[in-house]
Chain A
Amino acid sequence: MSNEGIGARVLRKEDKRFITGAGRYTDDMVLPRTGYAAFVRSPHAHARIKGIDASAALAMPGVDAVLDGNQLVGDGIGNIICGWMIHSKDGSPMKMGAWRALEPEVVRFVGQAVAVVVADTLKQARDAAEAVVVDYEELPAVVDSLDALKEGAPQLHPEAENNLIFDWEIGDEAATNDAFSKAAHITRMDIDNNRLVPNPMEPRSALASYDRAEEHYTLYTTSQNPHVARLVLSAFYNVAPEHKLRVIAPDVGGGFGSKIYIYPEEIVCLWASKRVGRPVKWTSDRTEAFLTDAHGRDHHSTAELALDADHKIIGFRVNTVANLGAYMSLFSSSVPTYLYATLLSGQYDIPAIYANVKAVYTNTTPVDAYRGAGRPEATYLVERMMETAARELNLSPAEFRRKNFVRQFPHQTPVIMCYDAGDYDASLDAAMKAIDYEGFPARRAQSEAQGKLRGIGMSCYIEACGIAPSKAVGSLGAGVGLWESAEVRVNPVGTVEVLTGSHSHGQGHETTFAQLIAERFGLPTDNVSIVHGDTDKVQFGMGTYGSRSGAVGMSAIVKALDKVEAKAKKIAAHLMEASEGDITIEDGEVKVVGTDKKLSFTEVALAAYTGHNLPEGMEPGLKEGAFYDPTNFTFPAGTHICEVEVDPDTGKVTVVGFVAADDFGKIINPMIVEGQVHGGLTQGIGQALLENASYDEDGQLLSASYMDYTMPRADDVPSYVVETTETICPGNPLGMKGCGEAGAIGAPPAVINAVTDAIGTNNMQMPASPARVWMALQSAGLKQAAE
């Protein structure tokens, strides 16, 4: 009997290779005659290129070629696209400035590539890249989105007047204004969401090769979605038609969104491999990663919450300015719009919501989806507002939230989303119990006795995963469908290969996906292999992001399994002369119910392939494919509670307790889910207390290394308490919701609500660094002294 089915804590099958150093990453790939690429990058945030002199570089040893943007454009390589069309409230389409993989005219952020050197060795390439002389005429730069909108600000793209990409709205403005005119209490806040650098452990990498005889390209690359990469490279960048381009994303060491996009370097390696007639490899160093991996977040918002006399929310109004950086990255436009403002209702029944979002160009690294993508920004706004409103009215933060919870499902919010299922009281109760909320005053008194300030804060988040259905997202501007594909191949000996369009870069698909087969047929997961990440093996797929691989990717596998199971039963019924309806498959055996007649799964598989004795007219083989397009998003939700202790002398915040009570629907492997939550919470705590991409006014990234960018370390976070509650998602066959981003979404407001509770002020922007917290305490102290 296999005990590796749904709900089992199966150890990760992929870990043997990862923790013994046997993983195969793009940079591990070796092809004969490979040349190495080094990019010439702009040291300026904004400058006109007056000339590029490559003569010295070309004369250096081992140098094959120095290629620049004029050659790239001349060869017809297309501009980098943004795949989601947003229309401003006046109906005009978003204003896209041209982004070339190598810029021939005007550079717009520090680190932008202007040329590439290909040489025999990496060192030769780097030496030569330094010898390429680029004549720049510096232009004034702007880094903050609010500054970029001001009159007289430096202008980035001629297409976007005043640096404004779009001015978008959602919700009913008149109804919302009306609610505010009737409000008994209004809470107002200015809230920023700090810019983050994704920092996957494995930096980006590309190895491209061109087969002259076949006119065929192969690209190994660090991608979360190799099929989408191939589609875009083929359809928009004119590298090669799809059937002449194979994209392989082998083991990938983390992505967090940053490896969804097709970056200039991958395009250039492909193009250069044909130009120079040898494979071309590039692997980002950490500085390049800081400067060129798409950043996350970076919002300035003002928010207003209107309450009636009974403390029910009657309106929510939000103005957000989103910094998209110097260019529009692949999904950048969807993040501060449909992935953000559609979640502004939180877990609450809010009759009227209106949000206005302005997206803005600045001379900074492009911003795109990063773990949570829009939903952390929404949750942070909603949950900071809820906490502050409760404090202003002297209400218990929990009771105030409960008063406004959605309790009837399905629930249509005023901002598109229709919540299908949830029990928000259950997760709030579970979290309060787990952290011993009642005992907090005593713990606070204990801290006070030791000269420390203690605070507690909660966040009742909701998010939307498995973005779908394709028809709906298409109508909202998405350039792609958001379904998933799967193929289940039963081999003649009864082992199983599952081909999936999802891509694993840390999520543990090789384990959880195999558990579906264990569940269905009772086969050990060792008899199953998961095939992904290669466009030659898997026909098509949409990849992994937005916590979609469970709800969408596994649902596709379930559909394919249904077909395999049906065919296997037909064959077995035929072989055992029984009726199809009496056949069951369990423990690796195919049985006739109520009899002792049975065949092993292997015997049935073998029969399918020998074809000696199949039902009349049946095709041999046991292999089925499926495409699954969901009917709705899924809505994971939960409550996170954080407890902190603040050292008033230094401002240092220590997270002393953190509880996450999440409703992810059905859980396939609790151990893997806990791992996802731990990682997400750590990133959330990182955003709240530590991480910040900080630019100076000239557009130089000050936090461009780990000397200045504070990644969370093990001693920055507590031992987490992770609990789950369960309401089944009605939208997919497994009842799953998704868990990949919840930690990063729920944690930041819980942490900041705890910090502000400890220090007795509502105003605190992220990250709540020691210096910032100390300054807040100083000004609170000065204010007190003055009163």
Chain B
Amino acid sequence: MYETSYHRAGSVSDAEAAIANAEDGKFLAGGQTLIATMKQRLAAPTDLIDLRHIADLKGIAKQADGSIRIGAATCHADVATNEDVRTSIPGLADLAGKIGDPHVRHMGTLGGSIANNDPAADYPAALMALGATVETNKRSLAAEDFFTGMFETALEDDEIVVAVTFPECTTSAYAKFPNPASRYSMAGVFVAKGDSGVRVAVSGAGQDGVFRVPEMEKALESQWSADAVANIKVPAEDMLSDIHGSSEYRANLVTVMAKRAVAALS
């Protein structure tokens, strides 16, 4: 690791000031991605601004309209075990409980995960399928506008994710096929039914990161059953291919995981 200066921000404005003063500053949340990258000397921020102690970024709250607002610095384990999340959006609790291992789940955060937008990360699928809104220190963004490609988001360098709000939904489930080595997602499918209809979003498999599958959504609108998606294949040429599996294999996993997510709800 290269030398770096650590700042503990007490508030969002603290963090804003610290990043403005830094030569090449980076926000730090759980450090589960950033610290590992720095240890490998692949990242060398001059300053680290720790967001985990900002009260505004913490906590899980059920809002009057039934939506759930989760602070960006909330760790995966808290999301997985929160009663409100478990009853209102069981698919989200389940997803958070399947991320990494216990150590990772107690350090890694929602904000860090979506800001990083690893194509193999799980959360982006939930945000897309649930039609979540990302709240930053500057604006509010629909999930669709937030994720802009593999490891790419709409965030500016000095923009902080403050919270994510998940609207109420009738039913939700996540089925994940983990990469055998990293246990990140090789294909994770989040299926949600709510006021705005059915949404199906996929993590892990797509070359451009998270994506929705309109054909599956349509099929499920007309028939809510695993069979409805059983023959819908996403185009293999848009999928990732690596030593763990070809793009054809990943395309197959998308269909299989979609079936399993729906089946879990039937």
Contact = CB atoms under 8 A, between A and B. Distances in A.
Given A127-B2, A287-B40, A769-B180, A775 B243 contact: no
Contacts of B180: 690, 710, 769-770
B182 interface: yes
A547 B243 CA distance: 34
Given A123-B3, A130-B41, A650-B177, A708 B243 contact: yes
Contacts, number: 50
Which of A123, A650, A770, A771 is most buried by chain B, counting CB atoms within 10 A of its CB?
A: A771
Contacts of B3: 123
A170 to B, nearest CB: 35
A774 interface: yes
B243 A694 contact: yes
B245 interface: yes
Interface string A656-700: 000000000000000000000000000000000010101000000
Interface in A637-651: 649-651
B64 interface: no
13 contacts: A123-B1, A127-B2, A649-B252, A652-B177, A694-B243, A702-B242, A706-B181, A706-B182, A710-B180, A710-B181, A770-B177, A771-B244, A771-B246
Nearest to B245: A771
A574 to B, nearest CB: 65
B253 A650 contact: yes
B202 to A, nearest CB: 15
Given A127-B2, A130-B41, A650-B253, A770 B245 contact: yes
A181 to B, nearest CB: 43
A762 interface: no
Contacts of B1: 123
A287 B39 CA distance: 11
Contacts of A126: 41
B244 A769 contact: yes
B256 interface: yes
A412 interface: no
A631 interface: no
A711 B181 CA distance: 7
Interface in B129-160: none
Interface string B201-238: 00000000000000000000000000000000000000
A702 B253 contact: no
Contact of B182 (A130, A649, A702, A708): A708
A720 interface: no
Contact of B252 (A694, A707, A769, A774): A774
Given A703-B181, A707-B184, A708-B182, 18 more contacts: A123-B1, A127-B2, A287-B40, A649-B256, A650-B252, A650-B256, A651-B249, A692-B243, A694-B243, A703-B243, A707-B181, A708-B243, A708-B244, A769-B245, A771-B245, A771-B249, A774-B249, A774-B252
> Which 10 A-B pairs rank lowest in CB-CB distance, beginning with the nearest?
A771-B245, A710-B181, A649-B256, A707-B182, A771-B249, A710-B180, A694-B243, A708-B181, A702-B243, A774-B249
Nearest to B249: A771
Contacts of A771: 244-246, 249
Nearest to A690: B180
Contacts of B184: 707
A711 B101 CA distance: 15
Interface string A760-775: 0000000001110011
A774 B244 CA distance: 12
A706 B252 CA distance: 25
Contacts of A130: 41
